[in-house]
């Protein structure tokens, strides 16, 4: 990676556009970046980092935070543009952080979003080609090309010497943290964690498998249920040999169960034989008892049958007489029917005679029939009168309906007239509502345009008042930290001056007899200088310098915070104006009330329009109803006159037809009743004559039938006649007696029954007792055998489960042993890991060994071959990390010592050598990306002239690899030694960049 050109605008301390030509600076290989404190030397490096990664190193890591220059005009954008070559591609990266800018169409400020551009130079066409404007795409593209994270870039390109000085003095844990971030060894730590997780998982699986096996063993012990079974194995789940012990114990329990089952089967066979003999004896006694009881019961039934013989003979005689009487039954029924008909006809004749007029009481059937025909002829003549009466009713109904219609239309006309009287005033009121709503809508739009700016001004006024207090507090803090920074600066300058005055005593302390003086070269030291009272050593000066730098950083941060608060206060004041919060609150509330009222009125526009439309439609409907009602009234008048004329003619006709009756229908009813009575009376006279003749014939037929059936009189035949129920009952009784006699005869003839009666009485109870005893013994034996078989089967099934579980657990246990060994080895807890180094520590130790080897090459040149950095993997005590030790070997003494014992100057060039070596190793680790531009920040003030020359020679030798090195330092002697310089000059309007190249005039 080679930097070509950097352009910054309104960035950090640079108010205007400043350009840094790295090609011109890198031509000499070594250039100096210097300037007074706070001028912006570090801001140049921040701009490079921000262009590449969109963030600055150190504490200012959030994009856009504190990047904008406090001196920049309001309309100038903060922008960084970097041109570089990486992996053979020439790229240009431009970035703008999120920042405030003036609004284009109104007063106040708005936030401009962060923007990025990436372009690539086409060598063939000589033009720049746009690649992307996406933050994410640009970040991924630059990250892939550089192969380094932002933190790695800041460590290997910007080389912060203070970090590496701390690295030399740090313990193994701190070194491991830094190396882990630089070399990204998280994957090895992930391997350790993954193996530990696999070990825990496998251990859980093994223990779970043993727990399942133990559960099966407990179920086996429960299923065995015998005290003769030995106790469970004493080994616990997870112990070696636990599975084999469980299988052996299960085999013993299974063998005992087999023996118990065989014994139970033998006992069951014997019990079944005894039960079979007892059952046979019981069946024999039961059969004998049954036959003896059958014979005795049959004898008792025969005696009972003989006792009922008289009753049986009487029933048979009654049944016989009943069969004879059935021959006379039809004649009896015919006589009874004739008598009933005679009585009914006589009653009907007497009823009809009472209803007839006195003149027709003794009339015959023919006279009554002739009178009926006369009445019916008169009834037929009333049909025309009925039609006239029906038409008269229809006319009356129609006239009533016309009257109802007339009343309804009169109501409609009256209501319509009243409604139309107020129509014009109502229509005008609705039109006024619509106009008011339209005016309110216009007023609401105007108020909305005034309300939003008023709200913004109110919010800005509140921010202004809050930021006013914050600005006052920030100014007070700024004054305090400035005073503290000035005091720290004066303290450091005072201590530095005092140390320079006593530097001779410090140099004299290093003199050794016989060794040449580093100043005059003499080997004789007659009067070496001695330290005066109050002598200041380098540690005190360094502590004062550190305190000053810390105070200066606090001052810079406070200045930026104060500037940010002032800028936000000014923006809020510009937006709010001179009005107070109370005034703006009153204005905003008044506008909100007026706007709400205007919107409420405007919302009624649609309802008013709909109401006007409904009213107009109702107006048209009422006019139409009025016209129709008037037309219907005219038509009803002519129709009513025609109906009155027709009804007058019909009433005259009906008056003649109904006579003295109330109506034609009443007259017709009278004639209909007369005709019906006459017809009924004639029919009753004829029925009396007919039924008398039928009754005489029935009496003659009955006397003849009784004589033929063997009865003296019809009354005797009627007395012997049986009902169907009585006949069926007698017949069933006779049939039952006959069936009982036959059954008794058949049973007394059975040879088994007669033979059983000759035997002694049976004893089934004794046989039952013997059988029950054998039955209970069989049940006990069967239960014992079933239990033994089930126990044997259950133990076999459980033993098979245990064997299956052991076979399934075998590979899991082997996997656990293998993973546990690997996890212990990578975690440093295994006995095979002699130095108890974790895998990540082992990889970091290898990287540290590479870094130490690369750093030694330059350290030997810087120290004139005296010092060598050596990696140490000695085992650390306690729980501290091993393998990350670092020692410096002194060639003058031949012994090694910890790097924390180096002096200030030795620590500087040792840390510089370490930083350069680390840059080489990280570069190789990142895929061999060539780093052609490096920056070294401070630390040169602690070197003497000779060591400084050696360090500069080493840095100058980097040009052999076509590298350029930029040194950031305050040391004045470096301005004389390094001719190519980039000076940062600060003034009231912001810092400026000046380049000084040998053979050229100073450029701005």
Return averaged pLDDT per consecutive 10 residues of the chain, 1004 residues in all. Answer: 89 89 81 81 86 75 62 85 88 90 74 88 87 86 78 65 58 64 67 76 73 73 65 65 71 74 78 79 76 74 74 72 71 75 76 70 72 69 68 78 81 80 81 80 80 84 86 88 86 78 68 68 66 73 86 86 82 81 86 84 81 82 81 77 74 65 65 72 74 77 74 71 74 75 74 74 78 80 75 75 75 75 72 67 75 77 78 58 72 76 69 71 60 67 62 62 72 77 84 75 55
Q: Is beta strand 30-34 parallel, antiparallel or unpaired with respect to 933-937?
A: unpaired
The dihedral of CA 43, 48, 54, 56: what is its sign? negative
pLDDT of residue 928: 47
Output the CA torsion 284→289→295→300 (10° steps): -170
List phi, psi (to 5°) of 890: -90, 115
Query: Which residues, in sequence order, are bridge partners of residue 967?
Result: 32, 936
Q: Tokens 């004998």 appear where?
A: 288
Measured between alpha carbons, how far is 338 from 316 in angstroms, rounded to an integer?
34
pLDDT digits (tens, 9 = 90+) for 798-816: 777 777 777 777 777 777 7
* Cβ atoms of residues 7 and 18 within 8 Å: yes
The DSSP result for 778-832, as a single string, is HHHHHHHHHHHHHHHHHHHHHHHHHHHHHHHHHHHHHHHHHHHHHHHHHHT-STT
742: exposed, middle or buried (Cβ count in 10 Å: 0-12, 13-18, 19+) = exposed
pLDDT of residue 64: 41
Q: Could you report how far apart the first and last alpha carbons of the chain are, in Å? A: 26
Contacts 24+ apart (CB under 8 A), 196-203: 196/823, 196/827, 198/819, 198/823, 199/816, 199/819, 199/820, 199/822, 199/823, 202/812, 202/815, 202/816, 202/819, 202/820, 203/238, 203/816, 203/820
pLDDT of residue 727: 72
Question: CA–CA distance from 567 to each of 14, 56, 479, 826 (Å)?
Answer: 17, 22, 18, 56
Neighbouring C-beta atoms of residue 316, cutoff 10 Å: 14
Measured between alpha carbons, how far is 868 from 899 in angstroms, rounded to an integer?
11
Rounded to 5°, angle at Cα 464 from 461 and 467: 150
Tell me if residue 587 falls in helix, strand or coil: helix
* Cβ atoms of residues 781 and 267 within 8 Å: yes
* Cβ atoms of residues 161 and 937 within 8 Å: yes
Question: CA–CA distance from 436 to each of 607, 610, 614, 939 (Å)?
Answer: 12, 15, 19, 82
Q: Is beta strand 867-872 parallel, antiparallel or unpaired with respect to 18-21?
A: unpaired
**Both tokens of residue 771?**
């059988």
List of residues 6+ apart from 395 with CB closer than 8 A: 643, 646, 647, 650
pLDDT of residue 482: 84
Question: CA–CA distance from 85 to each of 485, 925, 933 (Å)?
Answer: 41, 20, 11
pLDDT of residue 874: 65
Measured between alpha carbons, how far is 91 from 144 in angstroms, rounded to an integer?
14
Question: CA–CA distance from 73 to each of 17, 46, 99, 259, 581 (Å)?
Answer: 12, 21, 13, 106, 29
Measured between alpha carbons, how far is 829 from 156 in angstroms, rounded to an integer?
34
Packing angle between helix 724-748 and helix 242-307, nearest 10 degrees? 110
**Both tokens of residue 553?**
């950083």
Output the CA torsion 749→750→755→760 (10° steps): -100
Nearest to 712 by CA among 701, 699, 703, 721: 703
Nearest to 278 by CA among 783, 760, 786, 778: 778
Strand order in the sheet with 79-86: 18-21, 2-9, 79-86, 89-96, 115-122, 127-132
pLDDT of residue 93: 94
Total number of residues shown for the chain: 1004
**Ranges of H-type helices in 363-422:** 365-380, 383-421
Measured between alpha carbons, how far is 732 from 306 in angstroms, rounded to an integer?
18
For the chain, the helix, strand and coil percentages under 3-state DSSP, each to the nearest 5: 70, 10, 20
Could you tell me where the beta strands, DSSP code E, fall in 76-125? 79-86, 89-96, 99-102, 109-112, 115-122
* Cβ atoms of residues 334 and 698 within 8 Å: yes
List phi, psi (to 5°) of 313: -70, -40
């Amino acid at each position: 990676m080679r930097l070509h050109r950097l352009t910054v605008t309104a960035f950090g301390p640079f108010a205007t556009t400043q350009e840094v030509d790295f090609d011109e600076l890198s031509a000499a290989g070594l250039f100096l970046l210097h300037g007074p404190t706070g001028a912006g030397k570090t801001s140049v490096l921040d701009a490079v980092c921000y262009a590449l990664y969109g963030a600055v190193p150190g504490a200012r890591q959030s994009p856009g935070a504190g990047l904008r220059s406090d001196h920049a005009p309001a309309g100038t954008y903060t922008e960084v543009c970097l041109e570089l070559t990486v992996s053979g591609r020439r790229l240009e990266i431009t970035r703008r952080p999120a920042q405030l800018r003036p609004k284009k169409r109104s007063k106040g400020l708005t936030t401009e979003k962060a923007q990025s551009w990436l372009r690539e130079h086409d060598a063939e066409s000589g033009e720049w080609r746009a690649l992307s404007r996406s933050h994410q795409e640009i970040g991924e593209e630059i990250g892939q090309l550089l192969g380094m994270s932002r933190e790695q870039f800041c460590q290997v390109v910007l080389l912060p010497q203070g970090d590496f000085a701390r690295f030399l003095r740090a313990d193994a844990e701190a070194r491991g943290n830094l190396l882990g971030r630089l070399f990204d060894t998280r994957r090895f730590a992930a391997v350790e964690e993954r193996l530990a997780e696999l070990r825990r998982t496998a251990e859980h699986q093994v223990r779970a498998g043993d727990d399942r096996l133990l559960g099966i063993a407990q179920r086996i012990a429960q299923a065995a249920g015998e005290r003769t079974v030995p106790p469970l194995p004493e080994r616990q789940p997870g112990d070696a040999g636990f599975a084999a012990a469980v299988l052996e114990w299960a085999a013993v329990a299974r063998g005992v169960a087999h023996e118990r089952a065989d014994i139970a089967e033998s006992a069951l066979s014997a019990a079944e034989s005894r039960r079979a003999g007892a059952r046979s004896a019981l069946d024999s006694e039961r059969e004998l008892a049954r036959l003896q009881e059958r014979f005795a019961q049959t004898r008792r039934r025969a005696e009972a049958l003989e006792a009922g013989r008289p009753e049986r003979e009487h029933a048979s005689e009654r049944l016989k007489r009943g069969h004879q009487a059935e021959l006379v039954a039809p004649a009896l029924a015919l006589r009874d029917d004739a008598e009933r008909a005679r009585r009914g006809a006589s009653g009907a004749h007497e009823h009809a005679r009472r209803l007839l007029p006195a003149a027709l009481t003794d009339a015959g059937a023919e006279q009554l029939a002739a009178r009926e025909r006369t009445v019916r002829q008169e009834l037929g003549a009333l049909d025309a009168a009925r039609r006239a009466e029906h038409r008269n009713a229809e006319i009356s109904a129609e006239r009533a309906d016309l009257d109802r219609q007339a009343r309804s239309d009169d109501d409609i006309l009256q209501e319509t007239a009243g409604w139309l009287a107020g129509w014009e005033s109502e229509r005008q009121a609705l039109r006024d509502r619509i106009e008011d709503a339209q005016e309110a809508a216009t007023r609401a739009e105007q108020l909305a345009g005034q309300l939003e700016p008023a709200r913004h001004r109110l919010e800005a006024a509140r921010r202004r008042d809050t930021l006013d207090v914050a600005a006052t507090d920030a100014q007070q803090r700024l004054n305090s930290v400035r005073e503290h920074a000035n005091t720290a600066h004066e303290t450091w300058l005072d201590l530095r001056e005092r140390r320079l005055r006593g530097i001779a005593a410090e140099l004299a302390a290093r003199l050794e007899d016989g060794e040449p003086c580093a100043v005059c070269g003499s080997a004789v030291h007659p009067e070496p200088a001695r330290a005066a009272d109050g002598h200041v050593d380098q540690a005190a000066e360094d502590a004062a310098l550190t305190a000053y730098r810390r105070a200066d950083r606090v001052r810079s941060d406070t200045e930026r915070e104060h500037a940010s608060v002032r800028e936000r206060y000014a923006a809020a004041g510009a937006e709010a104006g001179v009005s107070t919060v109370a005034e703006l609150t009153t204005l905003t509330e008044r506008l909100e009330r007026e706007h709400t009222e205007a919107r409420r009125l405007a919302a009624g526009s649609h309802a008013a329009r709909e109401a006007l439309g409904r009213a107009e439609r109702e107006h048209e409907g009422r006019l139409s109803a009025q016209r129709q009602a008037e037309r219907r009234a005219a038509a009803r008048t002519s129709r009513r006159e025609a109906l009155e004329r027709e009804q007058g003619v019909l009433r005259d006709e009906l008056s003649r037809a109904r006579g003295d009756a109330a109506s034609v229908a009443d007259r017709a009813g009278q004639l209909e009743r007369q005709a019906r009575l006459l017809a009924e009376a004639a029919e009753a006279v004829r029925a009396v004559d007919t039924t008398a003749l039928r009754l005489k014939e029935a009496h003659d037929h009955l006397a003849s039938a009784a004589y033929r059936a063997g009865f003296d009189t019809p009354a005797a035949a009627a007395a012997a006649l049986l009902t169907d129920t009585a006949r069926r009952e007698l017949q069933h009784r006779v049939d039952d007696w006959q069936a009982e006699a036959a059954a008794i005869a058949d049973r007394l003839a059975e040879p088994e029954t007669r033979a059983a009666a000759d035997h002694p009485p049976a004893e089934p109870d004794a046989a039952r007792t013997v059988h029950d005893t054998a039955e209970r013994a069989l049940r006990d034996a069967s239960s014992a055998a079933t239990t033994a078989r089930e126990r044997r089967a259950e133990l076999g099934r459980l033993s098979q489960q245990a064997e299956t579980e052991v076979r399934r657990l075998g590979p899991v246990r082997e996997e656990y042993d293998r993973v546990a060994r690997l996890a212990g080895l990578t975690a440093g807890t295994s006995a095979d890991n002699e130095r108890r180094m974790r895998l990540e520590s082992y990889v970091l130790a290898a990287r540290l060994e590479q870094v130490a080897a690369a750093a030694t090459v330059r350290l030997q040149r810087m120290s004139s071959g005296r010092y060598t950095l050596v990696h140490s993997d000695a085992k650390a005590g306690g729980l501290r990390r091993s393998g990350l030790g670092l020692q410096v070997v002194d060639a003058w003494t031949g012994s090694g010592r910890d790097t924390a014992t180096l002096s200030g100057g030795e620590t500087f060039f040792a840390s510089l050598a370490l930083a350069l070596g680390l840059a080489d190793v990280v570069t190789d680790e990142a895929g061999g990306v060539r780093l052609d531009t490096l920056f070294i920040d401070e630390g040169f003030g602690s070197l003497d002239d000779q060591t400084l020359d050696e360090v500069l020679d080493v840095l100058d030798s980097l040009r052999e690899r076509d590298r350029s090195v930029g040194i950031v330092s305050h040391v004045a002697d470096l301005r004389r030694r390094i001719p190519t310089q980039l000076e940062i000059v600060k003034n009231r309007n912001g810092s400026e960049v000046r380049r000084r190249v040998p053979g050229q005039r100073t450029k701005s």
